[in-house]
Amino acid sequence: MSGELTQSILKRIIRQVGLECAAQGQSLSETLVAFMVKAVVLDPRNDFNMDRTLTENEMQDLIQLCVTRLLDTTNPSLSTIKMQVYFDMNYANRDELLSEQERVLEGKLASVVRAITESGPRTQEEMENVYQKIVTYVLLRSGLGSPTDIEAVREVTAALQSIFPQTEMITFISLSKKDKEQQLKDLAMLVTGIRLYNKQCQKGGSCIDDLPGILSEAIPSATRTLDERLSSCRLLAHRYTALLEAVQQDPQRFSQLRFLKLKEALFSVRQYEAFLCILQSNAITSAQEVESLDVQFEAAMMLLKNTVQDKTSIESREVFPLFMELSKLWTGFQDEMLLLSFLTNMADNLQQFLEIQSQLFPEEMLTSLLEGVTVKSDVERIKETMETRVNVSDFTNQEWLFPETTDNFDQLLIQYHGFCAHSVGVKGITLPGNPAIGILKHKEKYYVFSSKEAAYIFAEDPDKFIQLNIEKAKKYAELIQLLELRHQFEYLVPHAQARKASKSSMKPPLKCESGTQTDTHILPPTIVRSYEWNEWELRRKAIKLANLRRMLTHSMQTDLSHMRRENCTQVYLPKDAGTQTKRDNSSNVPKPQIFLKGLRGGSSPTTHMVAVDLTRPLDET
């Protein structure tokens, strides 16, 4: 908006409009009120001068106009704007949704992780308490059961003890905080893989849902629901378009339709169709992802069975990676369940913004009005113009693109969400453009048309019709998002400065407390402390240095100081030595053996004794 309408005045008006709507029983979001305030100021029919500051009376008129439009529940334009605000505030793509879910999960587990990693158990009882907390963390992290489910707790405890017995708690406690957190995540994945394998072997896992089976039924059902809603809203858009064309051809016959806000109803249905197409595309992506996960999961489970078989023991380096792969694939199934639930809720909540259509245009009224009117679908309109094509030779200063002459023709970014660039501003109707007629490239932007005649008229003065489309969007603010004109109305989108360029978001900016600190001196100091600017000080230092050259250093010792000098001595450590002073020796001498003969006497009266020496000589011993 204009710089004259300052933020303080704008906030005051938004707050006052919100209070008056709340007093009437309508509690509206600040984002919706802000969008409506800026849309009312932008509408040229309200005659607000944006080049000067609003007076007090103009501010009161603006507030009353905003309150009136916000309380007019029979206006399809309000329903469309509410739908746009709701979608922008709540929709998130796959990556954003999964990252947000991971952040929420980390927040829920933060207290448990902190209690495990920051504890310093000493006794056996404290060790057991920390181990039980690890069991709780593994159970919560996997999402396969509740800590209050005794059966699930037993399964997790048994699986955890098989890979991480309590005897390893001492080693775990000695790790750093970061290593503990990483090991907790690894343990959670291993336990999840073990439980999934046991469930496949019918040895447990009673509390684990069959996510592949659930998704194989839920995704086709959700896709069918989206297809049905798309078909019904497209049929409604085709009927509204046929009626608007009939009104322009025969205003007298359909004079009563001027007061039924048929254009606003068409814009609302087209916006609803655009949002459903986004959800349908996400559902198709989820179906393809689930199909891929099914194949990978079956292959991983088969490989694990072949590796384990009936072995009583197996090396962890062989089986642990397989368990972790199972856990990763199962997490993919859980993510798809989350995405499917999100898409289903979004589709159900969008349905409420289309309820006003049946109130304004009941089936009986539409049937009677459409008598004698040909209703054409978007596909039929495109088929009718497939054989017509712009003749490039008719234009000298315009560049036209065709499928056979342009690379990546289907990937060109078409303006106005693919609607005819001529019919929007001139007729106020959103007709589907046919690229086969020819795509006009004007100022690095691409435009399509619903007929050859519309293309020729637009090409005569593109800037004129582009401005007509902008003026039409000023009257119908819901066209800004439907026709993707946000880059031309940045000031209209609430908090546009905080919005991503790639996403049509109208969310308020995230706020947080933050602080910064800078060093006093980032670079090392370069001050030369010895520098002197005073000439006399330099002379004084020079004289001092000159005097030092003539000085001698003397030293002497006194009776009191001579014992204070540093002395050192060197000694030799005693060495190990041994001496022998005695030798043990022995000798062996023969035993004397002397025998006497003749001591007993004999026949002779005289005794003759003979000594016989039988002792062995020394040299024989």
Nearest to 118, CA basis, from 108, 104, 128, 133: 133
Per-residue pLDDT tens over the stretch 435-462:
999 999 999 899 999 999 999 999 999 9
CA dihedral 511, 517, 523, 526 (to 10 degrees): 150
Which ranges of 385-435 does DSSP label H, i.e. alpha helix? Answer: 423-427
SS3 content of the chain, % helix, strand, coil (to 5): 60, 5, 35
**Residue 580: is its pLDDT beyond 80?**
no
**Residue 4: is its pLDDT beyond 90?**
no
Q: Which residue type sits at 440?
A: L
What is the C-alpha to C-alpha distance for residues 107 and 118, in angstroms, rounded to an integer? 17
pLDDT of residue 247: 85
pLDDT of residue 280: 94
What is the C-alpha to C-alpha distance for residues 344 and 601, in angstroms, rounded to an integer? 146
Q: Which residue type sits at 153?
A: V
Side by side, the strands of the sheet bearing 399-401 are 399-401, 439-442, 445-447
Strands (E), 373-531: 399-401, 439-442, 445-447
What CA–CA distances, in Å, run from 340 to 102, 106, 132, 279, 425?
16, 22, 34, 10, 38
**Residue 305: is its pLDDT beyond 80?**
yes
Residues 135 and 149 sit within 8 Å (Cβ to Cβ): no
Tokens 């001196």 belong to 521
Nearest to 413, CA basis, from 346, 487, 489: 487
CB-based contacts of 67, cutoff 8 Å, min separation 6 = 17, 20, 21, 24
Residues 447 and 440 sit within 8 Å (Cβ to Cβ): yes
Phi, psi at 297, each rounded to 5° = -65, -45
DSSP states along 120-147: ---SHHHHHHHHHHHHHHHHHHHTSS-T
DSSP three-state, residue 414: strand
What is the C-alpha to C-alpha distance for residues 131 and 160, in angstroms, rounded to an integer? 10
pLDDT band at 28 (very low <50, low <70, confident <90, very high): confident
pLDDT of residue 422: 93
Per-residue pLDDT tens over the stretch 539-555:
988 888 888 777 766 66
What is the overall mean pLDDT for the chain? Answer: 84
Per-residue pLDDT tens over the stretch 161-196:
988 888 888 888 888 889 999 999 999 999 999 999
Which ranges of 461-532 does DSSP label H, i.e. alpha helix? Answer: 462-475, 479-482
pLDDT of residue 566: 65
pLDDT of residue 520: 66
* List of long-range contacts for 15-20, beta carbons under 8 Å, 24+ apart: 16/63, 17/63, 17/66, 17/67, 17/70, 20/63, 20/67
**Residue 576: is its pLDDT beyond 70?**
yes
Q: Which helix (H) or strand (E) holds 597?
A: strand 594-597
Nearest to 347, CA basis, from 272, 238, 286, 237: 272
Per-residue pLDDT tens over the stretch 503-518:
443 444 455 666 777 6
pLDDT of residue 567: 63
pLDDT of residue 619: 77
**Beta bridge mates, 596:** 611
Q: Which residue type sits at 445?
A: K
Terminal CA-to-CA distance of the chain, rounded, Å? 136
**Beta bridge mates, 506:** none
pLDDT band at 123 (very low <50, low <70, confident <90, very high): confident
Residues 219 and 290 sit within 8 Å (Cβ to Cβ): yes
Residues 476 and 267 sit within 8 Å (Cβ to Cβ): yes
3-state secondary structure 295-325: HHHHHHHHHHHHHHCCCCCCCHHHHHHHHHH
Tokens 């205003």 belong to 251
**Residue 152: is its pLDDT beyond 60?**
yes
What is the C-alpha to C-alpha distance for residues 412 and 439, in angstroms, rounded to an integer? 9
User: In this structure, what token pair is assigned to residue 177?
Assistant: 């905080």
pLDDT of residue 86: 92
> Mean of the pLDDT values across residues 405-418?
88
Nearest to 135, CA basis, from 101, 164, 99, 104: 164
What region, left, alpha or beta, does residue 421 occupy, with left being phi > 0 and alpha being psi -120 to 50 degrees?
A: alpha
